[in-house]
Structure 1
Amino acid sequence: MFASLSPAHAEEPLLKTAVDVAKGTVSFVLPEPDADGSAGCYIYASTLRSGLGSARIRLDRGMIGEEQLLCFQRYGGKVAVRFENPKFRASGDAGTETGAQESFAFSIPAMLPILNTGKDGSLTVDMAPFLASDVIGIGDALKRGGGSFRFAPGQSAVDAGSLKAFPDNIEIDAVQTFTSDNPGSEVKLIAPDAKSTSYVVHHSFIRLPEPGFEPRLADPRAPVGGPVVYDYGSALGMPLAIQLAAKFRLEKADPTAERSTVKKPIVFYIDPAAPEPVRTALVEGVNYWQESFEKAGFIDAFRAEVLPEGADPMDVRYSMVNWSNRLTRGWSYGGGIRDPRTGEIIKGNVVIGALRVWQDIAIFEGLVGTAQNGTGGPNDPVRAALDRIRQLGAHEVGHAIGFMHNFAGSTQDRTTVMDYPPPRIKLTDGKIDLSDAYAKSGGAWDDFSVDWLYGQPAPGVNPDAAAAEKALAIKEAGVAFATDIDGRDIALPSALASMWDDGPEPIAALDHMVKVRDIALSNFGYQTLLPGEPKANLRRKFVPIWLLHRYDVEAAGKLIGGMDYEYAVVGDNHPDPKPVAGATQTAAMNALIDLLSYETLTVPDRLVPLLSAPVTRLPDQQFNIEVMPNAGAAAFDPLVAADIGAQLPLESLLAPERLTRMLDQHRRDPSIPGPAELVAALDAKVVSVRPNAIARRIAYRTVLTIAEAAMDKNTAPGAAAILDDYLTRLGKRLTSPARGDGAPWASFMATALGDRERLIALVGEKEAVPDVPPGMPIGGDTGWFVD
């Protein structure tokens, strides 16, 4: 059933088609079904030609749905569109293979009427039932944004005039409309009629790749990913689950040569929708990969250029870097269309959010002001943002050619574009310096990645064995690797895998960023705005400066209860995991607690009136989600700013999983601080130091965060007991507060700590906790430094 279909003539279309533009009908002519009723198999993919424009509801222009192995199967008087299930298979004889196929479900998204049977046995089928189906999942995505949406067939249609048939692919559009009686707020903000939103969905039918592609097995030491397949024909005792490495089919013209041109280069096209100078920056950044392919022995094997006029970015023959506009900022991402059987990449596809460059400029203006905007100077926010766009283009195309993140790159002076890089902010003669904000090329890890995945050993040498030797060599060279599974959550134990950090030592990097923050705050004012810009925009540019150290807090926090470990296989001599040294953990713990001082979290008095400029414009979601809550109308609230600033270290220090590791590590090594040492330090340096309202607000947030961690089901019982005991003792200590300004606070906290139900209610009042303005874009509203 899954054999490749070869055309009779190279220039014949993949399938004969018939369209009636006036009636809006499209039909395919399928080959005569075989004895089992199969009338051909193809790779199918769907793409959004038009999107919603929402970061929360990811329906982006250029977004690709899940590719499928699509087979046409005749059942009596109809032909089913079947999505096969190549994830499950069994190598072996025909009976074994058939048994595996029949053991797992397939899907039928549409049944097609047969319009005509040809003399040669071919079947002409009406494609409308399939082309009109919601294969990309628009309805489900809209529901995530609130409300209940349903497909509206009467307001949908196939665009018969859009059909294009080529020798290896067929491309066609359909307009799909979804209606709701109760649309969510996000859709209301964007759609002209929120009760009825429409999208152009692009369908691609692709010839199965010709034989000759050699699937590669993934290796935990290499940054690759692809389909996981389960082979129930594996030899007994061998793994059933097999991770394939997704990659393009890249073949040397001369397989025996160490360096050779290629039969078909990898070309990525930049969306003309990206404005200049961003478009040119994307071309330059994506072309960072050229050098890595050259080093791997491939001459002229990779390039980026602007999509030619008249070419369709949805056409699967063009690997694309799409430019997508949204109401608010959100993720950029890279992927593409792969053969689900083998991991062969057929089309690379990237979506970059247009607001990215504008947000980066706003950050840099907050750091250095607007005086150098557009000058090309070392502190030109526009120049720095374009350097970031270059790096982003390279990063996302890295995903599209087969590579996953390596968050360790920033700890080794930029070994890869596949990290999440913060701007490197230097201090030169006590002044902020953005001259080296971003790297302008790839690094050693990128060279290794291309060589590992695409490098071709001499004929007769096993490619997987050669790749294993390369993985061991890069480790012995000292180049580190840490990816998403260890980087996404602040509670995780690997400091090596932190995102948006810079430098080999997290504590030193945190100290540096706090110094940068102090200087930026001392300089902050109207010079961060352009002439004529509303003064109220200071509130928006203030937030990333106030929270400039947020990701360094996360990196240093991972040292506490932290682990040193590497991805390894048996026999490669990688060291076994071990806890971070006790002295380092203690230093990190103290560094984060020091950030809770009221001096660090007091907004300079001179900035309070500047940050209280009123807003007279109409509601603007791009502005509203970026700022901190005020104390009524335009009145800036320094207490909220302190509370939000305190949440950064507290959420890291008191993450339940971290407390659990601290408990166990301290049990095995008393030099490592445990939960008791942590709460004792918080009590001595934060809770017991309350000379003013700012300090008391920080102490309040500290006590409630400790209580929340004690109640969290993910906190080990032993750790929860230590926290709960501290809260009990604190409540008793506060029952007789000394007279003074702090007495009401102490009395209030003593009452809460002495009444379990009241404490639970306080912890549960999430609406009363000021939200930390968006950082990384995970779900909902999205972040300053985004990927």
Structure 2
Amino acid sequence: MLRKVLLASVAGLVVAAGAAPVLAQAERPAIASASTWQDGLFGVKLDRQKGKATVRLPAPGADGVLGRYLYQPGLSAGLGMDGAGLDRSGLGAAQVVAFRKVGNRVFAEFENTRFRAVDADADQVNAVAASFAPSVVWSGEVVETGADGSVSVDLSGFLERDAVNAVGRLKRARLGTFKAAPTLGYLEADQTLVFPDNVEFQTVQTFTSDEPGAELSRVSPESRSVTLTVRHSFIRLPDAGFQPVLHDPRSGTSAQVMVTDFAADLDQPVVSRLARRFRLEKTDPTAARSTVKKPIVFYVDRAAPPAIRQALIEGGDWWAQAFDKAGYVDAFRVELLPEGAHPMDARYNIVSWVHRETRGWSTGTSVNDPRTGEIVRGVVQLGSLRDRQDKMIFEGLVGAARSGTGGQDDPDRLAYQRLRHLSAHEIGHALGISHNFAASTYEDRASVMDYPAPWVIADGERLDFSRAYTTGVGAWDRYVVDWLYGDAPGQDPIARRAELAAEVQAKGYRFVNDTDTRPLGSLQPYGAMWDNGTDPVAEFANVMAVRRIALSRFGLANLPAGAPAADLRRVIVPIYLYHRYQTTAVGRQIGGVDYGYAISGDGHERAEVVPADKQRAALEALMQAVAPDELDLRDDLIDLLSSAQSGNGDRQTEIELFEGKTDAVFDPSSAAAAASQVVFETLLAPERLNRLVEQQRRDAGQLGLTEVLDRVATAVGPGASLSPRQAELRRVVRARYAAHLAALIQGKDLSSTAQGAVRDSARRFGEQLKRCRGDRLETAQCAWLAEALIGPVEGLKALSETLPVAQTVPPGAPIGGGEWH
């Protein structure tokens, strides 16, 4: 009952308005002069000499409200640095802003839309409204009152606010404490656009600091002064009639709209989640298949180079398949942004091509009606350096000479395929769809919403790229679009969605999202990024074989002609660590528990533990990854990797190299330490060690904590049969293991039982090292580590200072901070 009431009541919040037009080309009317009003969503008049914008709002209602609008700030020109969240086309928070006249002033108030009393009487509604504060963010004096009661006010102060929280973002990114400098900003009059359903303003805003972060000097000509261009979009609130959709944890959709209903019945939850989706209406609501009143159209940024535009259009257009399968004919398409259109114009769903100093995450976001979850505008940001990184990886696998050949292993062709997938993936987010990191575990790689590692198959000494990337959206994607957007005439939509979710579960499809994938200690065995294969251990063997083949022939042929030989140091990193993500997928089997997002009564409520034989096979695979013969490199290759670069440093390169302890000469030991860290940071995550105790408590035959620690100690302990060459690599791995033991003992995340087991294992390992035999290098390291592991806690602290657990591993996935996409 509550669900139907909520849908009806939330829909009733919407203020009626006209539908936005379907755009065939850019419309850009001019604002004539200070004496001329330009009428649209509301009237606008500019004073170009003073840089002021006056707006004319309708006559106030009984509550003094002059108008309510969806307000969306964003950046037309950004900082160009990963981690700050200040990128071109980046968005601030969407708000419902109400302009209210009180006396001779106009106040701008962001309404609090989360807390409600749904379908309740006025007393309950008013009580909730009085319990949670709105935010008044600006006020200005009335300039003029028209004969019709309309009110004119100078909006410049509102537009000059730090609407995107640049000050806060710069501080969080540790780039300095900045403050707004109003005299160093201005209104860009020529970028003021007035349309019937949206009004666009653009301001240049400068922020200054006496002590800016040193890194700002890399992207700003004067690091004490950061200038950004801020777009302010006022959008007509959507028409009545949109039907919100209650989020289902099995649906694969991203719920961003939270509703706290204090009028909910006691047998119903107070907090509900609304899925995000576009309004998509059939021209014939009674038909199973029909054209639509207004298609969803995404526009590719003209800033993207022509060849890249084509890849982005092709990949984005894959979603048309899913909408067609759901019964919506010609409902989705991707086109090039009309010439002269601004990519931040609120009328356009945009796929932006964003430049940063270094490669970083791409994102798919949306402007939503915060009351209903209706997507008003989709915004995708694609980092322009991602395709170059992909090409470099492929050249590292097959050689630079294959670029441009047109073969299945052509790095240019493969990078193009990856761009198509990237476009589809981020547009999927903008459509309201979540990641599904379990999709890669299906033979058909069921979703573009997973992170796609290229599926390269080792065939003898040949690398097979014929299945590197999929084409088109997958079975999971078609299901999610049908669940989120589809309908069936005459069928209850809530019941239909429940049936779809049950049906996809019955087919065996799993859904694993970010929170159960990204943590190193995640126990979800199907939740891994950039992995492949139905059997993670079997695919790990394939990945290791691909790595061996690539490294066996790695050299100058992996660089384009004329490139600095020092570039090999960057190219080798993703090849040497080619197994890093499949390693994580294997590690997730140890202590793994297959749990889902079930709802009561669907038959999938019980979690299942990964069988003991699979856990032990995973442990053995991880021990292979730290074996000396897997970590070693050829002597001639090490000599090539010691070529250096002269002149100024390149930030893109410097942060993506193995750190070394041998000055300018390549340090194989540091590379081996990084590869070992990839194994131990997952295997020895506290959550996993605690889980190993619990799973053996319930099943004595399961893999337990002491068995895992004993196996690692055997793998990294003294080895009499090792050559001096291999013994040094074993010592590198041993030191990494000791660093993790020391950190675990000093930490607070282990259960008491796990803490005891780790301390006992550390002492046993120390005793093992005391009996170490070999040359002086071997016995010296063994004695040092043994003293720290067996002795008092001060020894562990000293060990942690010398061997910090956070060994630097060059970034593999897109670097930088911000959201996960």
State TM-score, norm by structure 2. Answer: 0.93
Alpha-carbon shift at residue 575 of structure 1 (Å): 5.1
Indicate conservation of the 8 Å contact 1:625/1:781, yes or no: no
SS at match of 1:281: helix
1:609-650 per-residue CA deviation (whole Å, 9 max, x = no partner) reads 010001113111001001012344430011111111111111
Alpha-carbon shift at residue 358 of structure 1 (Å): 0.3
**Residues 510 and 3 of structure 1, relative CA distance in 2, 3 Å threshold:** closer
**Residues 656 and 620 of structure 1, relative CA distance in 2, 3 Å threshold:** same
Residue in 1 that maps onto 2:594: 564
Matches within 5 A, 1:581-730: 581-689=611-719, 691=722, 692-730=727-765
Choose which of 214, 226, 231 in structure 2 pairs with 1:197. 226
Matching residue's letter, 1:253: T
Alpha-carbon shift at residue 711 of structure 1 (Å): 2.4
1:362-398 per-residue CA deviation (whole Å, 9 max, x = no partner) reads 0000000011212221111010011000000000000
Alpha-carbon shift at residue 243 of structure 1 (Å): 0.7
Matching residue's letter, 2:794: E
Residue in 1 that maps onto 2:561: 531
Indicate the larger mover: 393-402 or 672-681.
Answer: 672-681
Choose which of 369, 379, 399 in structure 2 pairs with 1:369. 399
Matches within 5 A, 1:455-474: 455-459=486-490, 461-474=491-504
Matching residue's letter, 2:459: T
**Residues 504 and 739 of structure 1, relative CA distance in 2, 3 Å threshold:** closer
Residue in 2 that maps onto 1:746: 782
**Residue 434, structure 1, aligned to residue 465, structure 2:** yes
Give ranges in structure 1 of 5+ residues lacking alignment. none
Residue in 1 that maps onto 2:15: 4
Matches within 5 A, 1:388-399: 388-399=418-429
Indicate conservation of the 8 Å contact 2:736/2:805, yes or no: no
Residue in 1 that maps onto 2:144: 116
2:378 and 2:639 mapped to 1: Cα distance?
50
Indicate conservation of the 8 Å contact 1:614/1:633, yes or no: no
Choose which of 397, 400, 417 in structure 2 pairs with 1:387. 417
Indicate the larger mover: 599-608 or 298-307.
Answer: 599-608
2:14 and 2:153 mapped to 1: Cα distance?
22
Matches within 5 A, 1:399-418: 399-412=429-442, 413-418=444-449
Residue in 1 that maps onto 2:108: 81
**Residues 738 and 136 of structure 1, relative CA distance in 2, 3 Å threshold:** same
Indicate conservation of the 8 Å contact 1:329/1:781, yes or no: no
Indicate conservation of the 8 Å contact 1:322/1:349, yes or no: yes
Residue in 1 that maps onto 2:512: 482
1:402-432 per-residue CA deviation (whole Å, 9 max, x = no partner) reads 1001111111121111110100111234211
**Residue 30, structure 1, aligned to residue 67, structure 2:** no
**Residues 21 and 161 of structure 1, relative CA distance in 2, 3 Å threshold:** farther
Indicate conservation of the 8 Å contact 2:455/2:469, yes or no: yes
Alpha-carbon shift at residue 57 of structure 1 (Å): 1.4
Indicate conservation of the 8 Å contact 1:5/1:40, yes or no: no
**Residues 555 and 480 of structure 1, relative CA distance in 2, 3 Å threshold:** same
Indicate conservation of the 8 Å contact 1:19/1:161, yes or no: no
**Residues 229 and 766 of structure 1, relative CA distance in 2, 3 Å threshold:** farther
Residue in 1 that maps onto 2:317: 287
Residue in 1 that maps onto 2:85: 58
SS at match of 1:49: strand
Residue in 1 that maps onto 2:527: 497
Matching residue's letter, 1:146: L
2:393 and 2:466 mapped to 1: Cα distance?
15
1:442-480 per-residue CA deviation (whole Å, 9 max, x = no partner) reads 111111111111112214x22111111111111112222
Matching residue's letter, 1:626: E
Matches within 5 A, 1:259-298: 259-298=289-328
Indicate conservation of the 8 Å contact 1:330/1:781, yes or no: no
SS at match of 2:630: coil
**Residues 117 and 594 of structure 1, relative CA distance in 2, 3 Å threshold:** same
2:93 and 2:730 mapped to 1: Cα distance?
51
SS at match of 2:377: strand
Choose which of 137, 140, 160 in structure 1 pairs with 2:168. 140
1:633 and 1:434 mapped to 2: Cα distance?
38
SS at match of 2:306: coil
Residue in 2 that maps onto 1:420: 451
Indicate conservation of the 8 Å contact 1:407/1:418, yes or no: yes
Indicate conservation of the 8 Å contact 2:718/2:769, yes or no: no
Indicate conservation of the 8 Å contact 2:739/2:803, yes or no: no
1:17-42 per-residue CA deviation (whole Å, 9 max, x = no partner) reads 11111211101111122222211111
Indicate conservation of the 8 Å contact 1:322/1:352, yes or no: yes
2:805 and 2:436 mapped to 1: Cα distance?
37
Alpha-carbon shift at residue 781 of structure 1 (Å): 11
**Residues 739 and 565 of structure 1, relative CA distance in 2, 3 Å threshold:** closer
Alpha-carbon shift at residue 736 of structure 1 (Å): 5.6
Matching residue's letter, 1:464: I
1:769 and 1:3 mapped to 2: Cα distance?
51
Choose which of 319, 340, 343 in structure 1 pairs with 2:370. 340
2:249 and 2:470 mapped to 1: Cα distance?
27
2:659 and 2:409 mapped to 1: Cα distance?
31
Indicate conservation of the 8 Å contact 1:361/1:385, yes or no: yes
| RMSD after superposition | 1.9
Matching residue's letter, 1:137: N
**Residue 152, structure 1, aligned to residue 181, structure 2:** yes
Matching residue's letter, 1:334: G
Matching residue's letter, 1:441: G
Matches within 5 A, 1:541-556: 541-556=571-586
**Identity over aligned residues, as a percent?**
43
Matching residue's letter, 2:134: F
1:493 and 1:407 mapped to 2: Cα distance?
13
State TM-score, norm by structure 1. Answer: 0.97
**Residues 455 and 85 of structure 1, relative CA distance in 2, 3 Å threshold:** same
SS at match of 2:259: strand
Residue in 1 that maps onto 2:800: 763
1:727 and 1:477 mapped to 2: Cα distance?
46
**Residues 132 and 8 of structure 1, relative CA distance in 2, 3 Å threshold:** same
Residue in 1 that maps onto 2:269: 239
Indicate conservation of the 8 Å contact 2:277/2:485, yes or no: yes
Choose which of 175, 184, 203 in structure 1 pairs with 2:213. 184
Choose which of 35, 44, 50 in structure 1 pairs with 2:71. 44
Matching residue's letter, 1:223: G
Give ranges in structure 2 of 5+ residues lacking alignment. 1-11, 22-37
Matching residue's letter, 1:65: G
**Residues 6 and 421 of structure 1, relative CA distance in 2, 3 Å threshold:** closer
1:649 and 1:576 mapped to 2: Cα distance?
29
2:767 and 2:480 mapped to 1: Cα distance?
59
Indicate conservation of the 8 Å contact 1:7/1:14, yes or no: no
Indicate the larger mover: 397-406 or 177-186.
Answer: 177-186
Alpha-carbon shift at residue 486 of structure 1 (Å): 1.1
Alpha-carbon shift at residue 135 of structure 1 (Å): 1.3
Indicate conservation of the 8 Å contact 2:599/2:605, yes or no: no
**Residues 440 and 470 of structure 1, relative CA distance in 2, 3 Å threshold:** same
1:137-190 per-residue CA deviation (whole Å, 9 max, x = no partner) reads 111111123211111111011223321111111011001101111111221111
**Residue 328, structure 1, aligned to residue 365, structure 2:** no
Indicate conservation of the 8 Å contact 1:640/1:770, yes or no: no
**Residue 126, structure 1, aligned to residue 154, structure 2:** yes
Aligned length: 783
1:528-570 per-residue CA deviation (whole Å, 9 max, x = no partner) reads 0011000000000000001000001100101101001222111
